[in-house]
Amino acid sequence: MKKILILLFLTLLCLSTSLFAGVGGAGIAGSFLQVPIGARPTAMGSAYISISNDASGIFYNAAGMSSLKQSIFATSYRAMKLDRKLGYAAIVFPTQGNSIIGFSWLYAGSGSVKARNLNGNPEGHLISQDNSQFSVLFAKRFEKYLSFGFKGSYLHSKFAEMSVFSVGIDLGATLYLSQLFSREQRDLMAIQDMQVGLIVRNLAANFKWNNNDYLNTYGSATSGGSDQVDDFPVEIGLGGSARFFERKLLVSTDLVKNFKESFIIHSGAEYFLTKEFAIRSGYTDKSLTAGFGYVFNLEKIGVVFDYAFSSDKVGEGSEHIFSFDILF
């Protein structure tokens, strides 16, 4: 049984990034949730489902956070073109029984643009969109080789004079394959910390729009407003990761599919040049990524600074991501 699991894991890990061509998530409900979150995951090509062992794991797979031994406060900001904004703040606490609880706020917004009518003429006012996700999560490691995670979210979006809200549920699991072997066996293996993650995202989430307030505000209502329901596409993902060269090299691959798009493969790697300094690279959805991370130890507090660069995709421009974690 162990050999079969290892074979399946290595097959997943070695999948080529050229097998599938993914399409970006713009134009669908909740597309802001598909933008890579956090500098470390972004630098690794968003291949983070089987890792998720820091605060940014809230946005990938809560189950991976169950092994945290310290509380973490984290924040991140993504510098984007076209006057767009994306950032988060999160805090997680270890609790008894190999479990954690956490809270997060994710914000995504666009700059203001001129409103235009069907003929393309300006209507004399500006419109913008702001999105927020407020989440609470719980994760627990039930066995040495298995953990589960749950994240419940309140989602809010405001576009022009219209405002909507919804709730969403994300579920995740992590299988620690290396724990199926004894400590003596693990010490002799060239591959360490083999893990597999599984997630299901956006359950029950949808936005129910109504444009009555917009039409009344700008005096263009000639008849009653209209309603529209935008369902968030349910997303499933499977990921694998492992460490090599005495745990200095971490390699990971994710395969993700939502119900409105093609398969997307995320791949990435992280190499520790020293115990404090790591370099990273990856590939995701037609973008190359790279970055680094550095850990500062200040007595009983640890400070982690991460940076990531994402190359230009479809004329959106390259982007820079900065993250700070405080461990206490």
DSSP code at position 274: S
pLDDT-derived band at 6, boundaries 50, 70, 90 = very low
Instruction: Return d(Cα 163, Cα 20) in angstroms, integer.
Output: 36
Which among 102, 115, 17 is positioned nearest to 63, based on CA atoms?
Answer: 102
Strands 235-244 and 277-284, sheet pairing: unpaired
| Whole-number pLDDT of residue 319 | 87
- The enclosing H or E element of 133 equals strand 129-143
Lowest mean pLDDT among 50-54, 76-80, 322-326: 76-80
Q: How far is residue 50's CA from residue 33's CA, in Å, rounded to a whole number? A: 18
Q: What pLDDT, in 10s, does the model give residues 167-183?
A: 999 999 999 999 999 98
Cα–Cα distance, 133 to 59 (Å, whole number)? 10
Indicate whether 1 pLDDT > 60.
Answer: no
Q: Does the pLDDT of residue 125 top 80, yes or no?
A: no
Predicted TM-score (pTM) of the model is 0.84
Task: Report the length, in residues, of the chain.
Answer: 328
Backbone torsion region of residue 193, taken as left when φ is above 0, otherwise alpha when ψ lies between -120 and 50, otherwise beta: left
For the ranges 70-74, 282-286, 311-315, which has the lowest average pLDDT? 311-315
What totals of helices (H) and strands (E) does the chain contain, helices first? Answer: 4, 18
CA distance 149 to 171: 6
- Among 48-57, 221-230, 236-245, which stretch is predicted with the lowest mean pLDDT? 221-230
- Which pLDDT value is given to residue 320? 92
CATH topology of domain 2-327: Porin (2.40.160)
Decide if pLDDT at 267 tops 80: yes
Nearest residue to 40 (alpha-carbon basis) of 25, 51, 29: 51
The residues spanned by each domain of the chain are 2-327
pLDDT digits 0-9 by tens, 285-317: 878 999 999 999 888 899 999 999 998 665 666
